[in-house]
Amino acid sequence: MDTTNTFAVIDLGTNTFTMLIAEITNQQRFEVIYHDRSYVKLAQEGISIIGQEPYRRAVNALIDFKAAIDTHRVATVRALGTAALRTAANGPTLVEDIHRQTGIRVDIIDGSVEADLIYEGVRYAYPMDDSNQLIMDIGGGSVEFIIANASGKIWAQSFPIGVAVLKNRFHHLDPIGDTEIEAIEAFLRDQLQPLFEARKSHPGNTLIGASGTFDVLEQTFLNEELSPLASIVEVASADLFYRIMTRSTAAERYAMKNLPPERVEMIVVAIVLIQFVLRSFGIEKIGISKYAMKEGLMSLLAKEHLER
């Protein structure tokens, strides 16, 4: 393997840190050779400041990632911090500690850059057509929405309504209460007004979900596989999943075969969010993209590398 073609991209998300190591091939393509994730849950004690234990988990995760980077003799490393690191008062301190202990520099990006990279990742994986498609990436601190088609990105915005925010603010009963769901929906209706306005000008009936809860939907209710990186799930399946999740206790969710334990706490508010989007925008088709932000950055790095 030519290690000058080997790149690592690290996504320091609010709930999960993930790392992708890939070898650049040709035509802006790449081959994944290593993938790792760590559920650090930066917002476990709130998103305004990162608690002591999440802080420790974050540093340890990057130390582990650095060991893999050294093993694979990676030529270029890019690490991106998103919503929690944008919001937390001690985010910059954590970034400094990570650099001091690993040598990895973390760039804290704003929501617009995050949305652009998500679009690049989805475009790489999902066969988009000429209709307007709504892309949705659910994170712990923020949710990105992009309206796009085969010709390019039309509109994009990041909203501070991630699942850690929704869980900490609204979901306290077990199972979730009807009044809690109503409060979430009212909050979303208010926060997502720019999206409602954008959809008036750019309507469409397809939602493309990227990663997270959409991965669980795919694993549980796969309807059609378009490629190894893209698939279709029926809206009726999402409706069923919503009913199951909103009626379940945490103990019942821990016992579910296709639900990773790390997603048990946040999955209920995530599916409430998805269901709100499906109902609000007349979605008739759900696409799933296995690629999102970090793969989008990797595709851009591949392009830059090949143009040198």
User: What is the pLDDT, as a whole number, of residue 211?
Assistant: 79
Torsion angles phi and psi, residue 211, rounded to 5: 65, -175
Examine the pLDDT at 43 and tell me if it is beyond 80: yes
**Mean pLDDT on 53-71:** 98
Pair of tokens at residue 223: 């309807």
Mean pLDDT of the chain: 94
Give the span between the Cα atoms of 231 and 212, in whole angstroms.
14
SS3 128: coil
Give the span between the Cα atoms of 106 and 275, in whole angstroms.
34
**Mean pLDDT on 71-75:** 95
Tens of pLDDT along 200-221? 999 999 999 997 899 999 999 9
User: What is the pLDDT, as a whole number, of residue 142?
Assistant: 93
CA atoms within 13 A on the CB side of 1: 17
Torsion angles phi and psi, residue 266, rounded to 5: -100, -10
| Structural domains of the chain ordered from first start | 3-111+295-307 (3.30.420.40), 127-290 (3.30.420.150)
Residues whose CB is less than 8 angstroms from the CB of residue 35 and which lie 6 or more positions away in sequence, other chains included: 18, 19, 20, 21
Length reported for the chain: 308
How buried is residue 173: exposed, middle or buried, by Cβ count under 10 Å (0-12/13-18/19+)? exposed
Query: What pairs with residue 11 in β-bridges?
Result: 18, 80
Examine the pLDDT at 307 and tell me if it is beyond 80: no
Give the span between the Cα atoms of 198 and 211, in whole angstroms.
23
Residues whose CB is less than 8 angstroms from the CB of residue 257 and which lie 6 or more positions away in sequence, other chains included: none
Tens of pLDDT along 227-262? 999 999 999 999 999 999 999 999 999 999 889 999
The region, left, alpha or beta by phi > 0 then psi within -120 to 50, assigned to residue 257 is alpha
CB burial of 135-167 (b: ≥16 within 10 Å; e: otherwise) equals bbbbbbbbbbbbbbbeeebbbbbbbebbbbbbb
Query: What pairs with residue 23 in β-bridges?
Result: 6, 31
**pLDDT-based confidence at residue 306 (cuts at 50, 70, 90):** confident
CB atoms within 10 A of CB 197: 10
**pLDDT-based confidence at residue 304 (cuts at 50, 70, 90):** confident
Examine the pLDDT at 1 and tell me if it is beyond 70: no
3-class secondary structure per residue, 156-182: EEEECCCHHHHHHHHCCCCCCCHHHHH
CB–CB of 16/57 below 8 Å?
Answer: no
Examine the pLDDT at 2 and tell me if it is beyond 60: no
Pair of tokens at residue 153: 């990105």
Which residue type, as a one-letter code, is found at position 128? M
Give the CA diameter of the chain: 57
**pLDDT-based confidence at residue 188 (cuts at 50, 70, 90):** very high
**Mean pLDDT on 96-110:** 97
The alpha carbon of residue 64 and the mean position of all alpha carbons in its chain are separated, in whole angstroms, by 21
Residue 263 has what DSSP assignment?
Answer: G
Examine the pLDDT at 118 and tell me if it is beyond 80: yes
Q: Higher pLDDT residue, 262 or 184?
A: 184
Torsion angles phi and psi, residue 291, rounded to 5: -110, 145
User: What is the pLDDT, as a whole number, of residue 281?
Assistant: 96
